[in-house]
Amino acid sequence: MTLHSIAGAAFRALTARKDGPSLYDVCDPLLLKYAGGDPHLGKFYRTALGNPALRPLLRRTGLSELRDEPKLRALRAALRQARDDETPDWAAIGAPVAELLDTIELNHPRPRAAPPPARAPDLARIDGAIRSCGEHLLKSFGRNGFIPTYAAFNLIGDPDLRGREMAMALTGLNSRGYKNSTLLFNLARTFIARSPARALVNPPWKGIAEPMWEPMQIRHRSAYYDAFFTEALLSFVETGLASADQAGASRRAIADMVEFCLATSREEVRAHDGAAFNVITALAPLPHPRFSKFFAQIKQDLGFGIYVPDCDTTACSFSAATQAGCTDPILDQPLLDFYAGYQVTAGANEPKVTVPLNDNIDYEGGVVTWIDNLEGERPFGNDLDPTLNLDILEVSFRNLARWKVLETPARLKTVQRIIGFQKRLAASGAFADPRSHIYYLPELYCAYFGRCYAAFIALPPAAQRAIDPDDSFDYIRGRVLAYVQTELTAHEMNAFDAALALIALGHLGAAPATFTAALHCIVGGLGEGGRHGPFKAYEWNKMKTPTRILVGGPEVTSAFVLMGLALARKAMMEARA
């Protein structure tokens, strides 16, 4: 977005003709100052929505339907109940907000078709990009003592979260603070989407993954991120392009990140049969996430005080540690025994899936996201994400012998039910629908399926047949490859999209000729990150509640580009041999 367009959008927002009560006309009398009731609702309103930065942009945006006095009274009554009731009726509270939310129009990106370039870039340019990304990751680790990732709020929200889905969240989440933030963020979405400020909050972009150009980004560290940075640095060393000093620095960084995953972020929980398990928490206690003091307080004020372990962070941390050759006894735990207690059975989705935002898919056989801590807390309720389930399969394949999966019928059945869940997703085509995914893009699902497939085909043929007797993996491979080749790489991409395409194509054994468009996109974009790194920050994963919260960063882009280019380079060199 150019400075001229930013200035124009800001001017239009500041001078818009007011056509009904604004967000602040509705909420200020109720939430700026009050005694009694839930203090968090007002604190959240003042911090997130009533702050001096946002107020000027939205103060002239009014909703014409709220000139209808009964509608305005109903909305204010709902906010009053959320503020004052000891046990609020969240379905009733959410109804007037859901009605407003359904008036806005939001769509997923629709990139234009793009003809493929005639030939791939020279190998020297690919090698140069790999070296740039590897150097960026190592310099960042050396400067910070870790490789940071960033979170950024997009207040316009997610296109898949409409009034119906907001109601699901309000009734399915467990934390009152999280319900408060979901309610108010979604109320604000209506005003933002119908304001000229929309162009500032949600400008257009090239490709699928959203660039993280919001001015306020929260730097932090998590075991989930460290696991993937570990895989990226392992990939860098394996290319042979790292210097001796860089290879040594990579190994030291890998050892530190594996330690952060398995020791610093370790948390004991109870399996459904009462057995003790050590899992990996999504966000370790302070000071380990490395928030600034300012953002640590903001996090509390916004209602994100409690984080619990999750199945995905645990799977990815175990996988990265396994690939790094770690021998920590925690890896001997057969995670499949634990995951089985979080696996959904057809017709029995409750109480496992309490926030079914993607109820367009069949959950049978899938494993839910969040793990109850020892106190039984689960602030986010629970949901079920397809990509997470690929990570569970991938770590199970890497630890097949260690966990005696083939020798233990219950563990093998757990794996096969997850595979069945994935096959139905592919057969229906739902894997390509953004609504089917809670935390990821369909394009990232394709890359992660490639990663999972690579671990599967590395197994002995007899083990492959025992796990997948009806060739489900081959079937899913065909569907994913077709999507990547005919949809993703056939349209305009940004560097992150292109990296995901290469990871999928490389792991799934596609012909090197199919890499050309993605390679040109990456090599042509090298340097776009300016002083922040070789590439810009893009959306890696996201939250849909309480609003659209993107997670990524320039280091994340470097990691994924490095892994994608390394796979492409290997395939191209093998084809030339």
pLDDT digits (tens, 9 = 90+) for 120-137: 999 999 999 999 999 999
User: What is the rounded distance in angstroms from the CA atom of residue 559 to the CA atom of residue 427?
Assistant: 31
pLDDT at 308: 85
Q: Which of 415, 262, 285, 384 is nearest to 333 (CA)?
A: 262
Q: What angle do CA 551, 554, 559 make, to 5 degrees?
A: 90
Residues 417-442 pLDDT 10s: 999 999 999 999 999 999 999 999 99
User: What is the rounded distance in angstroms from the CA atom of residue 254 to the CA atom of residue 245?
Assistant: 14
Segment (H or E) for 153: strand 149-154
pLDDT at 116: 85
pLDDT at 349: 53
**277 close to 338: Cβ distance less than 8 angstroms:** yes
Check whether 4 has a pLDDT greater than 90: no
Check whether 295 has a pLDDT greater than 70: no
Check whether 376 has a pLDDT greater than 90: no
Distances (CA, A) of 23 to 18, 27, 47, 199, 308: 11, 6, 14, 18, 33
Question: What SS3 class is residue 414?
Answer: helix
Sign of CA dihedral 480, 481, 486, 488: positive
Q: What are phi and psi of 153, to 5 degrees?
A: -90, 130
Q: Which amino acid is at 152?
A: A
Q: For the full predicted model, state whether its pTM sits above 0.75.
A: yes
Check whether 172 has a pLDDT greater than 80: yes
Check whether 177 has a pLDDT greater than 70: yes
Residue 361 — pLDDT band, cuts 50, 70, 90?
Answer: very high
Q: Which of 261, 260, 279 is nearest to 270 (CA)?
A: 279
Give the tokens for residue 264.
């610093």
* 405/197: higher pLDDT: 405
* 200/9: higher pLDDT: 200
User: How many angstroms from the chain centroid is the CA of residue 331?
Assistant: 25
pLDDT at 3: 61
Give the tokens for residue 184.
């108010």
Question: What SS3 class is residue 558?
Answer: helix
Check whether 466 has a pLDDT greater than 60: yes
Question: What is the residue-averaged pLDDT of the chain?
Answer: 93
CATH of the structural domain 125-154+199-572, one choice from 1.50.10.20, 2.60.40.3670, 1.20.1090.10, 2.40.50.100: 1.50.10.20
**Percentage of residues of the chain with pLDDT beyond 90:** 82
Cβ atoms within 10 A of the Cβ of 429, count? 11
Check whether 9 has a pLDDT greater than 70: no
- The β-bridge relationship of strands 217-220 and 266-270 is unpaired
- The β-bridge relationship of strands 266-270 and 548-552 is unpaired
Length of the chain: 577
**140 close to 253: Cβ distance less than 8 angstroms:** no
Residue 217 — pLDDT band, cuts 50, 70, 90?
Answer: confident
Mean pLDDT of 77-82: 98
What residue segments make up the domains of the chain, in order of their start? 3-105+162-198, 125-154+199-572
